[in-house]
Amino acid sequence: MASSRKKNKRKGEAMGEKDITEKILADYNDVFADIMNGLLFAGEQRILPEALENTSIHSQYKAEDEKVHELERDVAKYWKEKEVELAICGIENQSVVEKNMPFRVIGYDGTAYRSQLLEERKKILPVVTIVLYFGTDRHWNSKKNIKSLMEIPEGLDKFVNDYSMQVFEIAWLTEEEIENVSHLSPIHDIGKIRVPIEILNKNGKLTADEMEIVKQHPLTGAEMTLRFPRGATTEKLNKYSYEICRYHHERYDGSGYPDGLKGDEIPLCAQVVGLVDAYDALVSVRPYKRKLKHEEAIRMIANGECGVFSKKLLQCFIAAAMQKEWIKKADS
């Protein structure tokens, strides 16, 4: 009984996070477009936020019992250009691996096509559905096409139509990596110890020379980690310390500093700390700026106003930042 309650509680928590993520995707076309462009078009800005329009997540069909049944998908939008509809794009969010997910996806897509037929459209739009998997306890290790989930009699295989789904694993860090990044993230700005206090506390915009001094702190911090006493940390932790200090101001498009690294050249631990550091700077009081509200900070980061971050990492961050516990703490 206790095990059942615990399982239901985890399921409820997962559903709560899932609902919040769906709301973000439905309400913010820019986030939806970023995800689609990042995952489908390798970051090319093919789908613009203003070209997206919400469509019904409910699809109806009549079964053999003559009753009308309804399927509800997570998020779906029309992709248009100059009022011309190009496709129906859908996103399904999964926090756990579901064996029969390919059948669910074909159900969503099939009813979307059927709905278009019932509307007697002159032009049938292609339907694109991607599955975002947020699970962190294991990779998506289940089959992704329907034929692999069936026992097909000998000789029939080539006559059975297949259907595959696209799964993108959004969050995957080992427990050890999560613990290491969490443990070492506070030292990311240790190099600022050599930045003059009058520059750090300046009430106004820094000069070009002052900014160059500030930009040296990642190098200074990384150098300091190389002088940590031997035996005090493991080799792996030393590596994390160095990477977090040196690379947390790098940005995914190569516009960061000090080395101008781009994409996955930036160690993941530094990407995570860099994103959280940007959020912390926005919601904290500084001599040169006011404290921003949680929602405003999330919007600015999502819109790229704090630099470009990995689309996968950004989606994980937004989903986490919209959890009730985080919002409650941010508003306190």
DSSP 171-236: ----HHHHHHHHHHGGGTTGGGGGS-HHHHT-SSPPPHHHHHHHTTHHHHHHHHHTTSPTTSS-HH
For the chain, the distance separating the N- and C-terminal CA atoms, rounded to the nearest angstrom, is: 36
Which tokens belong to 249? 């101001």
Give the count of beta carbons closer than 10 Å to the beta carbon of residue 205. 8
217, 223, 227, 232: CA torsion to nearest 10: 70
Instruction: List the domain boundaries for the chain.
Output: 2-169, 175-331
Q: What is the distance between the alpha carbons of residues 154 and 40, in angstroms, rounded to a whole number? A: 36
Helix or strand run (H / E) with residue 62 = strand 58-62
Contact 132, 170 (CB under 8 A): yes
The three-state (H, E, C) secondary structure of 69-114, written as one string: EEEECCEEEEEEECCEEEEEEEEEEECCCCCCHHHHHHHHHHHHHH
DSSP 49: G
Q: What is the distance between the alpha carbons of residues 36 and 262, in angstroms, rounded to a whole number? A: 20
Which residues have CB under 8 Å from 328's CB, separation 6+?
none
pTM above 0.75, yes or no: no
DSSP 292: P
Per-residue confidence in pLDDT tens, the chain, 332 aa: 444 444 444 444 444 455 555 555 556 677 788 778 777 876 677 888 889 988 876 555 555 666 665 667 778 899 998 778 899 999 888 878 999 999 999 988 998 898 888 888 889 999 999 998 877 678 899 999 999 999 999 999 999 999 999 998 766 666 677 777 888 888 999 999 899 989 988 888 899 999 999 999 999 999 998 887 666 557 778 888 999 999 999 999 999 999 999 998 999 999 999 999 999 999 988 877 889 988 889 889 988 899 999 887 887 888 788 777 777 777 77
Contact 147, 108 (CB under 8 A): no
For β-strands 75-81 and 52-54, DSSP reports them as antiparallel
Give the count of beta carbons closer than 10 Å to the beta carbon of residue 75. 22
Domain 175-331 - what CATH class? mainly alpha
